[in-house]
Amino acid sequence: MRELKLLLLLRRAPYDGVYVPEALDAALVAAAFELKVSILLLDDAVFGLLPDQRADLIGRRTVGKLLLALPDYEIERVYVCGDSLSSRGLHAGDTVIPVQVLSAGEQAELFGSHDIVWND
């Protein structure tokens, strides 16, 4: 069977409810079932890339740590919107994990190259 390509589109801030960890859980399970999983972070979701997050202090799972664990699940393709980063004063070099920065046009192409897109 052809390997399905799944893209997880994250737009929420990392601690906006527990939506981002929940959505990441689904992506991890998909990867464990051998779907080809990629992640795209836009808008406030890019704050999930900040290093030094300590969400245990507010009784939550730390999104930065969840992202660090992605390669253990063979999720290597993490993309981020360049405009979302720069408009929030962040830089790709400062992120908790290595990310591939995409322009809006490249993001449009990214959607088109996947079979399924999930949300937070």
Q: Which residues form the interface with another protein (CB under 8 A)?
A: 1, 4, 6-7, 9, 11, 18-19, 22-23, 25-26, 29-30, 33, 35, 42-43, 104, 107-109, 111-112, 114-120
In the complex, minimum distance from the CB of residue 5 to another protein, in angstroms, rounded to a whole number:
9
Of the two residues 91 and 111, which places its CB atom closer to another protein in the complex? 111
11 or 53: CB nearest another protein:
11
- Two tokens at 120? 């937070």
Burial of 35 (0-12, 13-18, 19+ CB in 10 A): middle
DSSP sequence for 19-46: HHHHHHHHHHHHHHTT-EEEEEE-GGGG
